[in-house]
């Protein structure tokens, strides 16, 4: 199989800029986020990639990123499917708070546990395990058949929903995935074999490097 599966975390959002837990809240991209998405589209075009089908979440920062990328690549616009299964992890009561506000309310150690634990969710929210429980089945049922059919597929989503998918694709452990960080609008380019195992992987990263973000 020579086709590609590309994962892209959205560009910087208004709440990323303010260091606010975002989750399923719906801020749009900042001007910087738009520039990042333009860069992602241009670098993918430079790689000679065009897409047959695209997937994104129900949140506008991911949708906007995808629209910009596809516009930069040009050509015939692929079919785009939006689904809440690809939404960011729900941060529950942390949503709308910056890190300092969260630490003042619950303590630094507790907030760090919620951010970095695989199984422990914040109050009213999701753990990464919960996020994986919706992302991975959606991929298997709705996205993998297109990859297996030889199509070039792009997914524009979020830091944690993509980490949940990367965990599945790369067969990472619960501990290994906690250390995986994704830069905003930095394409993760995969080639999979016929059984869905990663045969080739490259990350296209801008010079400023990675940013784990909070949704």
β-pair partners for 114: none
Residues noted as catalytic: 10, 88
Sheet holding 79-82, edge to edge: 79-82, 53-56, 153-157, 5-9, 188-192, 198-203
Q: Which parts of 8-97 fold into alpha helices (H)? A: 14-17, 31-46, 60-73
**φ/ψ (deg, to 5) at 81:** -115, 130
Residue 202, classed as helix, strand or coil, is: strand
Q: Which of 46, 96, 108 lies closest to 72, judged by CA?
A: 46
């Amino acid at each position: 199989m020579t086709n590609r599966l590309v994962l892209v975390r959205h560009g910087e959002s208004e709440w990323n800029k303010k260091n606010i837990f975002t989750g399923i809240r719906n801020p749009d991209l900042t001007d910087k986020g738009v520039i990042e998405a333009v860069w992602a589209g241009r670098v993918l075009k430079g790689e000679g990639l065009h897409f047959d089908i695209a997937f994104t979440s129900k949140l506008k920062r991911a949708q906007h990123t995808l629209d910009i990328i596809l516009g930069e690549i040009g050509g015939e616009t692929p079919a785009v499917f939006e689904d809440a299964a690809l939404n960011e992890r729900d941060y529950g009561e942390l949503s709308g708070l910056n890190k300092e506000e969260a630490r003042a309310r619950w303590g630094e150690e507790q907030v760090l546990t919620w951010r970095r634990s695989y199984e422990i969710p914040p109050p009213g929210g999701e753990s990464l395990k919960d996020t994986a429980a919706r992302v991975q089945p959606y991929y298997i049922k709705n996205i993998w058949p297109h990859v297996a059919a030889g199509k070039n597929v792009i997914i524009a989503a979020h830091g944690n929903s993509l980490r949940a998918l990367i965990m599945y694709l790369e067969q990472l452990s619960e501990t290994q995935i906690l250390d995986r960080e994704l830069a905003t609008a930095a394409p993760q380019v995969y080639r999979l074999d016929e059984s869905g195992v990663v045969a080739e992987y490259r990350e296209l990263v801008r010079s400023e490097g990675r940013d784990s973000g909070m949704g």
